[in-house]
Amino acid sequence: MNIGSHTFEEFKEIARRFHGFPAPGLLLGGYMVENAKARMPEGVLYEAMVETGKCLPDAVQLLTVLSVGNGWMRVVNLGRYALSLYDKYTGAGWRVYLDSDKLDHWPHMQSWLIKSTPKKDQDTEALYREIEAAGDTVCSAYPIQIHERFLGKSSMGEIGWCPVCREYYPTRDGAVCRGCQGDAPYASIPGFPGLGQHRAQPHAVSLEEAVGKTAVHDMTRIVPGETKGPAIQAGQVITGGDLCRLQQMGRERVYVREELGGVDGFVHENDAVLAFAEAMAGEGVTYTAPPKEGKIDFRASQSGLLVVDIERLRGFNCLPDVMCATRQSDIYVEKDKAFAGTRAIPLYLSEDRFEAALAVLRDGPLLRVEPLRPMDIGILVTGSEVFKGLIEDKFAPLIRGKVEHFGCRVCAEEVVPDDRETIAAAVARLREAGAQLIITTAGLSVDPDDVTRAGLLDAGMTDMVYGAPLLPGAMTLIGRVGSSRILGVPACALFYKTTSLDLLLPRLLANRPITRAALAEMADGGFCLSCTVCTFPKCPFGK
């Protein structure tokens, strides 16, 4: 069977010259490409979507004008031997794939595909004969519609200059190029500029020469287990009485302002970190100047939810010679408590790296503390055993204590049986009472009597996310009924002191969106150790 205008043997030779040898996947791919081409309306400008990086893209390039280089072929590596051709403007097209149900009569092709026979033991000529005989009969096809995000030619975007390697790269990759972020495959690169040219070479003087002169930076003294702090501060005049203390600190030479030199084109650590702090601090964030030991700490000027621009924080820390460390984003922080710190690492930071760091920060603050908005809370306790008075309700007092800690007011409480119609009616009453956040308790498991979720849906709940990668609290529920937010708390909260409730309540009060993706990010750190003595939030849970 021919492959387009080529005989099988002709295409084998084309494949050998292009690919190095006539790979079976490339030959089979030729039939798949021609199958897809035949299904496209004449005159339509089409592009290709290939679902594997193995051989199939080569077939597309050999039999069409499409390639990765010209942007008309995309490789989305799904690990499946399939391709789609589609109208480049509308996205309508055909997907052709290797159909496993059609390989039963082609044993050599089947063993090659699933690798049941080692490559050295394969009968290559028999495999070639099967591919030629089968042609595209081992393929199936169906019409598809490509998602609009894949339509149109992608652009590299803005091009910038990497401050580390000094090569050009797409700035969408971050503050430095991907190679300098650690993705480069090279163990070493002879002649790489490195960091040496970015280091200042200030002149140091002996302690005796330093007397009467001005210290350039804080000099830290550490007494293990007792103190850590600057024994000599930047701008302080060194006296004869300081020499013994400096010697005890292991200092033999120091930098002094009067005889520094070698720092043209560099920015002092204090000046750099002050500029960083000013750019990083947003709403609800404060810091104290001057820097201490070259570092500035950030504190909350109000209690609230810490929000960190994680992508730009990562970009900033990808730059050499600067750093910023924070507590976990989206956690509750108290007023006046420190939650982050930044500094320039060398005493003098090169101006180009200083400017590169500021460029990362120019799009707005890195850190902010969003105030929690005290809400009117409606508590909905579900459970026939509680409703009938068979057991004492301990859920409402627990919820009341947690929400009142954040300044909220419980405006109404409902205790209802495990009946979806009754639950829906209770939700309506809580909303009428002014509940901005309705916290439901229990009834969220897989038991047949647990109908809380169904009752909430009957009440009109939308935007529901059920289940969270948090333990305890996997059966948490998030949603909305009209303007009222919904938080479903599983029964485990009666046993464990700290659960998903403690992580999610501050986010809801700060009006942060809680999506499936946001919950997925909480999985890393979402396992509570259930310590005998709970120290939350001073523990790893939720971090």
The pLDDT of residue 356 is 85
- Lowest average pLDDT, out of 163-167, 185-189, 211-215, 305-309, goes to 185-189
Is residue 266 situated within a structural domain? no
- DSSP reduced 3-state for 193: coil
pLDDT band at 118 (very low <50, low <70, confident <90, very high): confident
pLDDT band at 190 (very low <50, low <70, confident <90, very high): low
The pLDDT of residue 162 is 82
56, containing H or E segment: helix 56-63
CA distances from 409 to 82, 366, 414, 434, 511 (A): 58, 32, 15, 11, 17
The CATH number linked to 161 is 3.30.60.80
Mean pLDDT score, 146-158: 81
Is residue 411 situated within a structural domain? yes
Using the 3D structure, point to which of 371, 388, 404 is the last residue of a domain.
Answer: 371
Instruction: Check whether residue 367 and residue 380 sit in a common domain.
Output: no
The pLDDT of residue 396 is 93
Is residue 358 situated within a structural domain? yes
Is residue 219 situated within a structural domain? yes
Number of domains in the chain: 5
Instruction: Check whether residue 422 and residue 436 sit in a common domain.
Output: yes
Q: Per residue in 225-271, pLDDT tens? A: 888 888 888 889 999 888 888 888 888 898 888 887 778 889 999 99
282, containing H or E segment: none
Mean pLDDT, the chain, whole residue set: 90
Distance CA 392, CA 383 (A): 11
Mean pLDDT score, 3-18: 93
Mean pLDDT score, 131-152: 92
The CATH number linked to 30 is 3.30.1330.130
DSSP 360-382: HHTTS-SEEEEEP---EEEEEEE
Mean pLDDT score, 103-116: 91
Distance CA 251, CA 405 (A): 51
Mean pLDDT score, 26-30: 95
Instruction: Check whether residue 483 and residue 401 sit in a common domain.
Output: yes
Mean pLDDT score, 12-35: 93
Is residue 18 situated within a structural domain? yes
Instruction: Check whether residue 337 and residue 442 sit in a common domain.
Output: no
Is residue 195 situated within a structural domain? no
Is residue 425 situated within a structural domain? yes
- DSSP reduced 3-state for 531: coil
Instruction: Check whether residue 358 and residue 388 sit in a common domain.
Output: no
Instruction: Check whether residue 386 and residue 307 sit in a common domain.
Output: no
pLDDT band at 195 (very low <50, low <70, confident <90, very high): very low
Is residue 271 situated within a structural domain? no
Instruction: Check whether residue 120 and residue 245 sit in a common domain.
Output: no
The pLDDT of residue 143 is 96
Which residue range is the domain that position 171 belongs to?
157-185
Tell which wins on pLDDT, 472 or 148.
472
Q: Per residue in 477-535, pLDDT tens? A: 999 999 999 999 998 998 999 999 999 999 999 999 899 999 999 999 999 999 999 99
For 213, what's the count of Cα atoms within 13 Å in the CB-facing half-sphere? 20
Instruction: Check whether residue 97 and residue 173 sit in a common domain.
Output: no
Instruction: Check whether residue 248 and residue 283 sit in a common domain.
Output: no
- φ, ψ for residue 396 (rounded to 5)? -60, -45
Instruction: Check whether residue 130 and residue 179 sit in a common domain.
Output: no
The pLDDT of residue 363 is 83
Q: Per residue in 433-455, pLDDT tens? A: 999 999 998 778 777 778 999 99
Mean pLDDT score, 116-143: 92
The pLDDT of residue 196 is 43
Instruction: Check whether residue 500 and residue 381 sit in a common domain.
Output: yes
Instruction: Check whether residue 180 and residue 303 sit in a common domain.
Output: no
Structure tokens at 399: 């919820």
Look up tokens 């309705």; give the residue.
Answer: 438
The CATH number linked to 383 is 3.40.980.10
The CATH number linked to 341 is 3.90.1170.30
- Lowest average pLDDT, out of 71-75, 91-95, 104-108, 185-189, goes to 185-189
**pTM (2 decimals)?**
0.69
